[in-house]
Structure 1
Amino acid sequence: MSPDPEHWNAAALEHLTGPMRGKLSWITARAVDVCLRPDKRLVFTETHPDEGNPDAIARFRRVGSTYEIEAVGTQPVWLNGKPLQSAALGYGDVIEFGETGPLSRFRLYDDSHGPGLTVGEILDDVLCYVRTSRRPLHRKLGFAAADLVRRLARDTSIFFRALVVLSLGLLAYTLYQQHRADQLIQARLETGTVQIDAVATALADARRESIRPADLAALQSELGERLTTNAERLRTLEARSGASRRVISTASPSVVFLQGGYSLRHKKTGEMLRHVVGQNGMPVHLPNGQPFLSLSGTGDIAEVQFNGTGFVLAGRDLLITNRHVAEPWGTGVRAGGEEIEPVMTRFIAYFPGQPTPVTLTVLAMSDSMDLAALTMDRGAEVPGLEISQEAPAPGDEVIVMGYPTGLKSMLAQTGSTFVQELKEAGETGFWAVAGQLAAANLIAPLASRGIVGQATDVTVVYDAETTHGGSGGPVLNASGEVVAVNTAIIPEFGGSNLGVPAAHISSLIEALTTAPVQ
């Protein structure tokens, strides 16, 4: 707020432009003439009120507690941007002297206060210059910006300058922290995007592999031929060795069909990844064919479904399978998720001859081998399989048991009546088909015979036929003991397959801290 004009007894012109820019010219006499020199400087001379300098451009006269200004020469004078004849001056009025003269601000000061300016007054000076100057706009703005910086650096107090430096430092620190936070958020978003993309890809793959009513007849014919081939091979196997028939019949009840589904969940909010649905209520798909998924979606939970094989250990209500079956999400889903985590939505097992499934829980997973141990919500009521105390040798015969191709292989064994019933009922969903197969007592593992090609401490290689879905199944010797756990195929090398040696099952069981179930 400006001081009360009644107490001002000294006046000054603060020059905003020209060679005297930034300086003050004091006006203390009762009458002062102002002359404009060729070098654009102003000269102030005290005169008698009734006399004057013939070269003057303007005259100041003391009137009460302020001054009046009068244009007295041939050159024009402007007050606050308007042509001047004469007028009483107020605090902050801006005067422009002639076409080439400076722009100056009129100020009145109290005797006890110096001409120090506040930041507000400096800013007001700059804005006033922009409003009143008749220079081109781009020149006015450039000059105003430079003058503002100069005056804030020169005419303000040391405390204010220190405060500005501190504020700039705090601002820079805040911007730096915000930049780091933005980077972290971006990294988390990218991580979440990678996870969601991985789930979307898995869902798109599962959609392409899902069973549709129109596929059932073709599926039955195609896999029926495979089943006939396998049956012929099995008859040959059994004809050559009655022990093989005993091994298969004894082991089958302990070899289970695994089904599961997983999705993504936000760790803090618990929100599940869902399908985004359109106005018609149908899930939206992206141009690449993948489903559109989001944590804020309103459709069904985006569940990636999988299947595999497991088997019960003798004397323990534990299931053994592969780690990649018990933890089916790949590295794209698992990598770096600080905000989003993969979670199992459902994990069950069907035993041959039992109509209802058991619910599974992961008990332990090996850090070095593709092995996992699972617990069940009720007893298995099967004898289970023994672990061989001897490693297989190259040339040994082995039997691999499991559920290769999952539901498709079992559907191929059911016959046309069951397939027709599924087609009529429209029961082709992942969970529904398995339930119908179990209710009809049609869940049973397939067996294939092969020869061990190589055996080491970490891998057993054999040529028994299998494929995806057979992962986690037992590899049995002629005595029906587990010598390996089927884990991977090598399609580029004559259909050879890989298994984890059974000795690692014993190591995994020994590492468990829970007491064995009797």
Structure 2
Amino acid sequence: MKAIFVHLSGSKRGKTEFFTNSKISVGTDPSCNLRFNQATDKNTSPFHAEIHLKECDYILKDLDSSKGTLVNNILIKEVVLNDGDLIEYGENGPRLRFRIKTEEGDVCKPFREMLADSMDLAREPYRGRKLTTAAAFFKNLLVEAFTQSSLRFKLASFFILFFIAGGIGTLFYTIYFTLTETTKRVEILEFESTVAEKIIKNFSGGVCLIQCSFSLV
């Protein structure tokens, strides 16, 4: 089994870590497996918590940390983690989405989980600001898609993006060609209009001369 931690906030915001250990130590101490930055993640203790794999369950235990450990916004001492749980190491400390993978080989995250994690990441404040924007969501989704997905998904995404880019390129070329042709047509019409005005002006002078001649007669 693999334990996956998607960092939604804190010093590792945007990163994803994987562990196959039966014991995962959590804290700011350099010896911890899941290590946080002591200067940035001030609400996380040096030896904050431990996660043990027992049979088929990941069990999270708080090690009497100064700010506590929250799972799904509830303060806990010891709890069995479920796929999708939201963990917070210290109140207002780094927040992580917990995932479990049971298959062997490379981790290939389902697309629905990529969407959920990208949305969570986009909603979390960054440097004191809320960035719930489409740009932040799609940026996170692209990172997830090309780092956590299967080879088949990556190839499919590449071809989809290729065809989209080709379609956009064709559209811009069509617009450019149409505008160029329209500009040429306008220039021709303006030239024809100028020539017509000159002819009319010259012809009008001749007509006036003939009219004056008949008047004298």
Normalised TM-score (structure 1): 0.30
Post-superposition shift, 1:157?
1.6
Structure 2 residue runs of 5 or longer lacking an equivalent are 35-45
Task: Name the structure 1 match of 2:122.
Answer: 130
- Aligned residue identity for 1:125: D
Q: Is contact 1:33–1:56 with CA below 8 Å preserved after alignment? A: no
Report sequence identity in percent.
14
Residue in structure 2 matching 1:22, options 10, 16, 34: 16
Deviations 1:21-42 (A, max 9, x none): 43223587xxx88541424944
CA distance in structure 1 between the aligned counterparts of 2:155 and 2:202, rounded to whole angstroms:
70
| Helix, strand or coil at the partner of 1:415 | helix
Change (3 A) 1:36 1:100: farther
Deviations 1:105-138 (A, max 9, x none): 2234567998521233223213212323564348
Say whether 1:192 aligns with 2:188. no
Post-superposition shift, 1:92?
1.7
CA distance in structure 1 between the aligned counterparts of 2:109 and 2:125, rounded to whole angstroms:
21
Residue in structure 1 matching 2:210, options 399, 407, 410: 410
Residue in structure 2 matching 1:183, options 163, 176, 182: 176
Structure with bigger strand share is 1
Change (3 A) 1:134 1:186: closer
CA distance in structure 1 between the aligned counterparts of 2:139 and 2:24, rounded to whole angstroms:
31
Task: Name the structure 1 match of 2:156.
Answer: 163
Post-superposition shift, 1:189?
0.6
Residue in structure 2 matching 1:36, options 1, 15, 27: 27
Task: Name the structure 2 match of 1:85.
Answer: 75
CA distance in structure 1 between the aligned counterparts of 2:165 and 2:107, rounded to whole angstroms:
33
Structure number, greater radius of gyration: 1
Deviations 1:318-349 (A, max 9, x none): xxxxxxxxxxxxxxxxxxxxxxxxxxxxxxxx
Change (3 A) 1:177 1:132: closer
Task: Name the structure 1 match of 2:48.
Answer: 57
Post-superposition shift, 1:156?
1.5
CA distance in structure 1 between the aligned counterparts of 2:87 and 2:100, rounded to whole angstroms:
14
CA distance in structure 2 between the aligned counterparts of 1:146 and 1:189, rounded to whole angstroms:
38
| Helix, strand or coil at the partner of 1:23 | strand
Post-superposition shift, 1:170?
2.2
- Aligned residue identity for 2:17: K
Q: Is contact 2:27–2:49 with CA below 8 Å preserved after alignment? A: no
CA distance in structure 1 between the aligned counterparts of 2:60 and 2:186, rounded to whole angstroms:
72
CA distance in structure 2 between the aligned counterparts of 1:147 and 1:67, rounded to whole angstroms:
27
CA distance in structure 2 between the aligned counterparts of 1:15 and 1:127, rounded to whole angstroms:
12
Structure 1 residue runs of 5 or longer lacking an equivalent are 1-9, 44-54, 212-404, 418-518
CA distance in structure 2 between the aligned counterparts of 1:143 and 1:191, rounded to whole angstroms:
43
Post-superposition shift, 1:58?
4.4
Post-superposition shift, 1:185?
0.9
Query: What is the RMSD computed on CA atoms of the aligned residues?
Result: 4.6
Q: Is contact 1:11–1:108 with CA below 8 Å preserved after alignment? A: yes
CA distance in structure 2 between the aligned counterparts of 1:137 and 1:68, rounded to whole angstroms:
33
CA distance in structure 2 between the aligned counterparts of 1:88 and 1:132, rounded to whole angstroms:
25
Say whether 1:105 aligns with 2:97. yes
CA distance in structure 2 between the aligned counterparts of 1:115 and 1:152, rounded to whole angstroms:
12
CA distance in structure 2 between the aligned counterparts of 1:113 and 1:190, rounded to whole angstroms:
59
CA distance in structure 1 between the aligned counterparts of 2:107 and 2:81, rounded to whole angstroms:
17
Task: Name the structure 1 match of 2:113.
Answer: 121
Structure with bigger helix share is 2
Deviations 1:327-376 (A, max 9, x none): xxxxxxxxxxxxxxxxxxxxxxxxxxxxxxxxxxxxxxxxxxxxxxxxxx
Deviations 1:396-430 (A, max 9, x none): xxxxxxxxx6433432332358xxxxxxxxxxxxx
How many residues are treated as equivalent by the alignment? 196
CA distance in structure 1 between the aligned counterparts of 2:174 and 2:128, rounded to whole angstroms:
44
Task: Name the structure 1 match of 2:42.
Answer: none
Q: Report 1:93-492 matches (<5 A).
A: 93-98=85-90, 103-108=95-100, 115-132=107-124, 135-137=127-129, 148-205=141-198, 208=201, 406-415=206-215
Q: Is contact 1:14–1:107 with CA below 8 Å preserved after alignment? A: yes
CA distance in structure 2 between the aligned counterparts of 1:150 and 1:170, rounded to whole angstroms:
20
CA distance in structure 1 between the aligned counterparts of 2:31 and 2:202, rounded to whole angstroms:
89
Deviations 1:263-290 (A, max 9, x none): xxxxxxxxxxxxxxxxxxxxxxxxxxxx
CA distance in structure 2 between the aligned counterparts of 1:14 and 1:181, rounded to whole angstroms:
47
CA distance in structure 1 between the aligned counterparts of 2:71 and 2:102, rounded to whole angstroms:
23
CA distance in structure 1 between the aligned counterparts of 2:71 and 2:99, rounded to whole angstroms:
14
Q: Is contact 2:107–2:148 with CA below 8 Å preserved after alignment? A: no
Change (3 A) 1:158 1:152: same
